[in-house]
Structure 1
Amino acid sequence: MPSTAKASPRAKAGRLAAADSPRPFPLIRDPRVGGSLEGMPDEALLSSLLTMAAPDANGDVLALRLLSGHGSLETAIAAASAGKLPGGIPWDDHAAVRFRAVIELAARLVRPTLEQRPLLSSHEDLVTYARLRAACSAVQTLRLLFLDRQRQLIADELHRTGSVGDVALYVREIMSRALTMDARGLVIVHSCPSDEPPNPASVRVSCADIQKAGNLLGVELVEYLLIGRRSYVTLLGEPVVKRLARLVAAEGDGATASSEAAVR
């Protein structure tokens, strides 16, 4: 009697690979294979990742179509993560989740560098982390990073998602959340799914409103970053290192004054 068992995705992928002509890109099949992947072209690395996420898909063809259609590795990754693929490609929610998991792992690898020292002592680490967090998004996002008195990271949260062209910002919601987290400092990261960051003119008023509210409530707006895939802008004009030194010095002066008052 013939078997009614269905072939596993892995078995089907093996048959398809055997039937195809030699692959144009090397596929990472065995995790025990040594050597660095640093020299691997974007299209080859993307092809391998796509094949692992969806074994029934032709990773080589899909990688080329994504890169040619979206113009860059970053936008190709965002499209694959959101399931926005060329027509006829076998790609389900499970494949998209596997793909996003890789990006999430990358962000979690970067996060410890933000937790081990005052946040703004490594501005580039902050930008790298924020870009990874927004890598899978096809819309604008607002992320809040809450800091303690020493400007150490308490927590970070995705606050809001918007559209391709805008994301809503409500001062009351942001300040309420900061107080709930018992934060003394706040970093706002506004990410845009294009090469250039959002237009600073469109958010300067909101930035000023948050600064005013924070001054009243004891929550310092330490940084407001506008981030695109290729560049970023800070809305607070003072150089980052200088501002960090000023904030830490102010905290130290405040602690000294409190101690002297207690002695008297």
Structure 2
Amino acid sequence: MAKPSESLITKVEETAGGGDFALQDAERLAFQLTDDVPTGKAAPAKSSRAVSVEDHHGHRERLRARFRDAGDAALADYEMLELMLFRLIPRRDTKPIAKALLQRFGSLGAVLGAPIALLQEVKGVGENVALDLKLIGALAQRSLKHDIKGRHILSSWSSVLQYCHAAMAHEVKEQFRILFLDKKNALIADEVQGYGTVDHTPVYPREVVKRALELSATAIILVHNHPSGDPTPSRADIDMTKTIVETARVLGITVHDHIIIGKDGHASFRGMNLI
């Protein structure tokens, strides 16, 4: 089989970040299909670029086979990310991109939780790839939220923490979230009540209680994140929580806990005897 033209291979590699959409229909077909080599003539030597494309294809197939046969335990984090990037960035070596993403953000969860603009700062990650990574992260969050929707929250505490961590741990600004519960402590609603700066979110206790009454909630769980990574509550966090607890109690609403989410852990006001 004859190899694709040198200029076409070059174009494929140079535009790999945009996938085959960067090629015209005729060019795409020419890259995928080749003519038979005339009988009796030796096949022309393959260029280093063509060999490179074949090497990438073989590596991808081996990585897929390992995942298929042994599951995710057989792959390192960068290989899992590389495997996902195969379909997002066709015909390009995605290992360096996967490693660069992990080096930049620190973990798979942080990569999927990173803002689109920051993802695009990594060489090889365009807008489409960044959007796809965010979509995958959103799907993971929705799956975790499904695990707690309608269930007795207090008996599914680990699932609650997993969901909150996935949703908030890698936000670059503070956000204040409330889980509203019914009289059976099942989740009614999960709402972000406010967004703030890197170290502060304005919270109004009356608005928190007002929303709980609108939803007929009898209990709530407060959650906010610390973008610094340290979940230790501040004096302001403690005072604000105390005010919400006292305001809610008067109207028969229980505050089960206030959870602060950090990058690698969390702090529970209930666990620290602050509620």
Question: Structure 2 matches for 1:158-169, cutoff 5 A?
Answer: 158-169=192-203
1:37 equivalent in structure 2? 72
Question: Please, which of 129, 134, 139 is the counterpart of residue 105 of structure 1?
Answer: 139
Matched residues in 1 for 2:132 and 2:50: separation?
A: 21
User: Does residue 22 of the first structure (1) align with residue 55 of the second (2)?
Assistant: yes
2:99 equivalent in structure 1? 64
The range that moved more, 100-109 or 18-27, is 18-27
Whether the aligned pair in 2 keeps the contact of 1:114 and 1:125 (CA below 8 Å) is yes
User: Does residue 73 of the first structure (1) align with residue 108 of the second (2)?
Assistant: yes
Question: Please, which of 236, 245, 251 is the counterpart of residue 217 of structure 1?
Answer: 251
CA RMSD of aligned residues (A): 3.5
Matched residues in 1 for 2:204 and 2:155: separation?
A: 28
Gaps of 5+ in 2: 1-11, 13-17, 32-48
Question: Please, which of 158, 162, 182 is the counterpart of residue 148 of structure 1?
Answer: 182
TM-score, normalised with respect to structure 2: 0.70
Q: Give the CA deviation at 1:103.
A: 1.7
Question: Structure 2 matches for 1:225-240, cutoff 5 A?
Answer: 225-237=259-271
Whether the aligned pair in 2 keeps the contact of 1:77 and 1:135 (CA below 8 Å) is no
Gaps of 5+ in 1: 1-6, 244-264
1:47 equivalent in structure 2? 82
User: How many equivalent pairs are there?
Assistant: 233
Whether the aligned pair in 2 keeps the contact of 1:43 and 1:64 (CA below 8 Å) is yes
Change (3 A) 1:46 1:193: farther
Matched residues in 1 for 2:212 and 2:87: separation?
A: 40
Matched residues in 2 for 1:176 and 1:148: separation?
A: 15
Question: Structure 2 matches for 1:62-141, cutoff 5 A?
Answer: 62-79=97-114, 81-86=116-121, 88-92=123-127, 94-134=128-168, 137-141=171-175
Matched residues in 2 for 1:156 and 1:146: separation?
A: 6
Change (3 A) 1:80 1:207: closer
Q: Give the CA deviation at 1:225.
A: 0.4
Whether the aligned pair in 2 keeps the contact of 1:146 and 1:183 (CA below 8 Å) is yes
Whether the aligned pair in 2 keeps the contact of 1:80 and 1:99 (CA below 8 Å) is no
1:252 equivalent in structure 2? none
Whether the aligned pair in 2 keeps the contact of 1:74 and 1:229 (CA below 8 Å) is no
Whether the aligned pair in 1 keeps the contact of 2:119 and 2:125 (CA below 8 Å) is no
